[in-house]
A and B are shown apart, each in its own frame.
Chain A
Amino acid sequence: MNNADLSNKQGGSNNNNSVRAQAGKYLTFRLADEEYGLEILKVQEIIGLMAVTRVPKMPKFVRGIINLRGKLIPVIDMRTKFLLPEVEDTEKTCVIVVQTQTKDEKLIMGIIVDTVSEVLNIVQNELEAPPSIGSKLDNEYMLGIGKVHNRVVILLDLDNVLCESELNIVSSVNDNEKVNEKNHDDEKYYENEKKVVNG
């Protein structure tokens, strides 16, 4: 399973036109104007948005932690993650609790989406490879594209979207931007201080 994924991934990066998605049921949700799909087996449950506790020093797309019946799980703001414009939460905003698989562990986390649409059955001939250009998202994130009737659904590869290396990269980028700005300032102060004292 893992190996297959890996080789698929490599195939995907070499050849952008491969379809990694499989026919089956997908949970679709909306973010801004686009419709996305998740493999149904990855979805644990859907819950309404509840009070989120911010975790400091995390990349911006990590909205924080919620209490899911006694378990603490992080929630990811998908809009921020996909660099879409931020909007106020609405009544329809909800959290999809998903199970992702990284190299060595299973993680349970929530993703915040604008609204959940439906469970869609996509058959093989409705699947298409992700376009090689013209998409904001990296092809790594996509399993493929589903064309059902007149709708286009982007099928996400959640393991890749939420995998830790991805988080680390983004977090270091964000670090350089502004999240830890203040902290860096502090450090500079100490350095200055020492210089002054030593001088």
Chain B
Amino acid sequence: MSTNDHDFLFGLRESFIQEVHDMLLMISDILLEMEHGDPEKKHLEKIIRFFHNIKGSGSAVDFSHLASFCHKVEDLLVAIRVGNIEMNSDIMDLLFKTTDTLKDTLNKLNSNHNHTPDFNNIESLVLEKLQSQKQTTTTRTISNISNSNSSVQPSYPKQAIDPSAEGVLFHDKNIIIEASTFSEDKNILNICETFAEELVFADVNNRKSLTKLYDPIINLTAVTKEKSPRLSNYIDKLHRDLRIFITKQKQIDFYYSWYKEITAIIDLIRNPQHQNIKDIKDIKANASNEIKPTNENPNPSSGMIEHNHAIVFEIDQKLLDDFLADANEQLEILDSNLMIIENFPQNPGALDAIFRCYHTIKSSSAILQFNEIEKLAHKMESLLVLLRDLKIKYEGEIENISINCFKALKERINEIRAGNLNPSKKIIIKFNDIISAINRIGIDGKDEKEQNNSSTPTTNTNTTDTNTTVTASTPIDNMIKVNIDRLDRLIDTIGELVIAESMVSQSPDLNLISSGSEVFKHLDHLNKITRSLQEIGMSLRMVPLKQTFKKLIRIIRDVSKGLHKEISYTTFGEDTEVDKTVVDKINDPLVHMVRNSIDHGIESNVEDRISNGKAACGKLEIKACHKGGNIWIEIKDDGRGLDKDKILKKAIEKNIIRAGQNLSEKEIFALIFRPGFSTAEKVTDISGRGVGMDVVRRNIEELHGHIDIDSEKGKGTTFRIRIPNTLAIIEGMVIEVNKERYIIPTQYIERAVRIECNQIMRPFNGGNEIVIMDGENLPLFKLGNFYNVNGPIKNTEDGIVLILDDSGKKIALLVDQILKKQQFVIKQLNSMVNQVPGISGGTIMSDGKVGLILDAGPLIQGFVNQIDTYELNEKNNRRNK
């Protein structure tokens, strides 16, 4: 049982981490959008919903640290929405930092679920902001008190401000004591909880949606009546205030001050011990503040209309896909747990699981504004609360409701999947039936009746609302999340199939069959199928570069801000699809390159740019495209360009090259990739240590890619990266050394030649042979000797020499013969055998045997380093003389 629970929690956490990861990505997207002159409230609301969602599901899976942190952030965001904190770049930075911290935490949690995240730093920053807000509100409200005292009596009904309630609320500690008794009552807490949630999702601009708040506030009034009539009265007054706001077209500020009050009360009930008298005073101050807006003319002003217009919520396709995938998962969990609970009604684990499911469904549907689902799930939750508290039993009527609810929900989800974003009439009727059935069950008859009356019509209005606001969307793809191991196994198996197929279709035994036979037709067919299967297999691992680009944009933003440079950027081809492993690995080098472009490329002095005839704002272009089985990524800046003379000078200074060496332009530019090379005078936190470009080169080499630089002094620099589409496949030349076959990636092979006797130079002491090729002296590397192959060819003239080139360093590799050029699927070698020098992996050859892939890069570098070419040159010169 306990292990079961543990497994269950583990699974939940896994999906939670995945979910939050996606959400964080979306949050950063929205933040970026907001920063780019689109600071609309609707963005903020979206972010608040995301954080709220993280908080909710976080506490459901027992990540309480995360949840409480998100709660604080939510507070901050709400304060921004209410207008207590002004949105500025400081806050923006803080929010970005928050997402970063959360991302880090998620990564850590991913590897270790018991990791205790440390939010202290960032949390204190958030609290600091919140604190400053509190102070400003108090000071502001104090001035408001005096204002309101002198002002004319409000048109607002006088009895609403019950003097006795006010007295208790704001002068007495009694209220705190009373409130503390509430926190022991689960029922009240629950109502507060759901109320708080509704508040978060309440949309000020959509007044109809605010009517949803009536239910909980009536509830709250009812339940508090017994123990604290004064508080209850006060809440009742707030209830009336809300109605006034909704019906009388009050200014938006009215809502916000109301909002502050109600949240303060909810907080007070939820955790009275955390509350102090100062906060209560705050409430009082706000309360008097809140009188003020009522003085204003209720006629809507021009600004009013602006606030009033309903937000058209565009459904993001990805969000929808995620929602559907998630909903499916939840429905499955629901299904299994409903079965359990049917048989064992007392099983608390199953009940909790159902609870969590509905909660998750509720919050995710709220994000997409599937209000009817949200409503239903919410109702179901209140029913489950009764079940959990053992107030009712899971039998008869309740069982029916629960099953019906599940069925209806499933039907609705299917509807959405089919592309029907708006619920059909049938569904609405079903939903309403269930909701009223649940209401009938409720223990507190009177209360629930009231709810019943108001909730059913609300659902209707909401659903019609959705009808108008949701824009039509294209049919939705069915998504399925698959474990990457299974995917790899599938691809492995497909690879095997391809080999098996080729072995059959190329079998010499086929010659025995007459050529007119049906077999050949079938074989052809088989061949086609295997090929398309192989293509599908490869495409499964492809993901668009979009996320990588988004990260880059984020980097551009951070770095340009840090350096006080103004940068405008354009991206192109973010839908280019790349193998997942490539995407993971290409991130680092791209980040380094972008940082370099901004730091070194773009001039720090705006005048320099203008005098060069360029716009003051630096330009950065990031492009990606497919070309000939490769992906090309281009990063282009319009900065000062590379300074050849400076690079040469530095390189000589650092002993990377010798003075007087003749280097082509490309070779000079390539120098910047050398480790330790930097032309920067000063080391900054962004660049200058000469590490970045080395990392770039290494990472790209790891991807079997190639990097190219184009630069013109004063005009700018372009980095062009070419990377094979997938890491899983390389193009290689099969070579043979006495029956042993090795594969050399073609990217390293410059050419293959048979050499003449007079091109070989044998050192007098029997040392390494040297091949003279077009005036170049290349050390000869005998693969057979290096790998101890039995009986390789003895004479260099008998074999074939491959000229291998790795970023300028060349060697001649002697092999017996070249067999063919082909594409190979790279396979990881077992850790036991992956330490062999010069071998990077294995592959399966067309005959099903294993072939080893030579890691030519390190092989060349290592070999060349052993023989100093300089000395060879010297020797060569001496000999020639």
Contact B768 A189 (CB under 8 A): yes
Interface residue ranges of B818-867 to A (CB < 8 Å) = 827-833, 836-837, 839, 842, 844, 848-852, 866-867
* Proximity bits, B861-879, A CB within 8 Å = 1, else 0: 0000011000100110000
Q: A107-B830, A109-B830, A193-B767 are in contact. Are A70 and B852 (CB under 8 A)?
A: no
Which residue on A lies nearest to B739, using beta carbons? A54
Contact of A182 among B495, B785, B828, B866 (CB under 8 A): B785
State the Cβ distance, A161 to closest chain B Cβ, in Å: 13
Whether A83 is near chain B, meaning CB under 8 Å from some CB there, is no
Q: Is the CB of A65 within 8 A of B767?
A: no
Complex Cα–Cα for A190 and B863 (A): 11
B765 within 8 A of A: yes
Q: Confirm or deny: B788 has a beta carbon within 8 angstroms of a beta carbon on chain A.
A: yes
The smallest beta-carbon distance between A149 and chain B, in angstroms, is 37
The count of chain B contact residues (Cβ–Cβ below 8 Å) is 37
A105: interface (CB < 8 Å): yes
Q: Which of B780-816 contact A (CB under 8 A)?
A: 785-789
Contact A74 B827, CB 8 Å, known A69-B492, A186-B785, A197-B871: no
Q: CA A186 – CA B784 in complex, angstroms?
A: 13
**A193–B850 touching, CB < 8 Å:** no
Pick the most buried of B827, B830, B875: most chain A CB atoms within 10 A of its CB.
B830
Q: Which A residues between 44 and 64 are near B, CB-CB below 8 angstroms?
A: 51-58, 62, 64
CA distance A180 to B740 in the complex (A): 18
Contact B496 A69 (CB under 8 A): yes
Q: Output the residue of A70, A105, A108, A187 with the most chain B CB within 10 A.
A: A70
Cα–Cα distance between A183 and B842 once the two chains are bound (Å)? 23
Cβ contacts under 8 Å, B788 to chain A: 56-57, 179-183
Q: Tell me which residues across on chain A come within 8 A of B789, comparing CB atoms.
A: 56
Give the complex CA separation of A119 and B867 in angstroms: 57
Instruction: Count A interface residues, CB 8 Å.
Output: 39
CB neighbours of A53 from chain B (8 A)? 740, 842, 849-852
B-side contacts of A65, CB under 8 Å: 829-830, 833, 842, 850, 852
A123 interface residue, CB < 8 Å from B? Answer: no
Q: For A66, what are the chain B residues with a Cβ–Cβ distance below 8 Å?
A: 850
**Cβ-defined contact, B496 with A164, below 8 A:** no
Say whether, besides A70-B492, A182-B785, A182-B788, A193 and B832 are in contact (CB < 8 Å). no
Q: Flag A185-199 by CB within 8 Å of B: 1 or 0 each.
A: 011011011101100
Contact check: which of B493, B785, B839 meets A55 at CB < 8 Å? B839
Given that A53-B850, A67-B844, A190-B768 are known contacts, is A72 also in contact with B787, CB under 8 Å in the complex? Answer: no
B830 to chain A, nearest CB (A): 5
A72/B836 in contact, CB under 8 A:
no
**In the assembled complex, how far is the CB of residue A158 from the closest CB belonging to chain B, in whole angstroms?**
13
B492, B828, B866, B874: most-surrounded residue (chain A CB, <10 A): B866
Q: Which residues of A contact B828 (CB under 8 A)?
A: 72
Is the CB of B766 closer than 8 A to any CB of chain A?
yes
Picked from A167, A183, A193, the residue with its CB within 8 Å of the CB of B768 is A193
B763 within 8 A of A: yes
**Which of A56, A69, A187, A193 has a CB less than 8 Å from the CB of B493?**
A69
Which residues 486-511 of B sit at the A interface, judged by CB distance below 8 A?
492-493, 495-496
A-facing residues in B164-187 (Cβ within 8 Å): none
Least Cβ–Cβ distance between A96 and chain B, in angstroms: 16
Verify A72–B829 contact, CB threshold 8 A. Answer: yes
Measured CA separation A182–B492 after assembly (Å):
37
Q: Which residues of A contact B844 (CB under 8 A)?
A: 67, 70, 72
A67 touches B848 (CB 8 A): yes
Q: Which residues of B contact A (CB under 8 A)?
A: 492-493, 495-496, 740, 763, 765-768, 785-789, 827-833, 836-837, 839, 842, 844, 848-852, 866-867, 871, 874-875
Return the 6 tightest CB-CB contacts between A and B, nearest first. Answer: A70-B492, A56-B787, A53-B850, A70-B496, A193-B767, A189-B767
Interface positions of A (Cβ within 8 A of B):
51-58, 62, 64-67, 69-74, 105, 107-109, 164, 167, 179-183, 186-187, 189-190, 192-194, 196-197
Q: With A65-B852, A105-B831, A192-B765 given, can you name 5 additional A-B contacts, CB distance below 8 Å?
A: A55-B833, A58-B836, A190-B866, A193-B768, A194-B871
